[in-house]
Amino acid sequence: MKDLPRISVGLVVWRETEVLLIRRANPPFQGCWSIPGGKVEFGETLHQAGLREVMEETGITARVDALIDVYESITEHGHYVMADFSADWIEGEPQAGDDALDAAFFPLEKACELVSWDDTRTALQQSARRRKHD
């Protein structure tokens, strides 16, 4: 029997006009830049999981704003259902923590160049468009 899909969450954390990225320490896409996030643990809401992952991976405190979209990835690494949210930076300077080799804020254009997944690039762009209209 195949493994069930895993639910994960990612946060596009904004500090003014810059977004927070981490460089992944573990597969899949080890060494690549992405938004902070990870698996939802039993009993956590999506928001709680996203905020926990941001804190663990970067030391940043944030506030969830809105759902960007839900994405799926089906590869040899497994089947992931990923809910990505926009969030606002509250405090802290990015420091690589759990599951991250590096963490930093980047201007949107640079962040879009650095990320490896098209869905993550789309989430960054959708989040930016939403912020313009709010």
Residue type, 62: A
- Cα 101 from Cα 57, distance rounded (Å): 9
Cα angle at 106 between 61 and 48, to 5 degrees? Answer: 25
Residue spans per domain, the chain? 6-133
pLDDT in tens, the chain (134 residues): 468 999 999 999 999 999 999 999 987 788 999 999 999 999 999 999 999 999 999 999 999 999 999 999 888 878 999 999 999 999 999 999 988 999 999 999 999 999 988 999 999 999 999 988 76
Whether the predicted model's global pTM rises above the 0.85 cut: yes
Distances in Å between the alpha carbon of 98 and those of 5, 54, 95, 131? 23, 10, 10, 29
> Tokens 């899909």 map to which residue?
5
| CATH code, residues 6-133 | 3.90.79.10
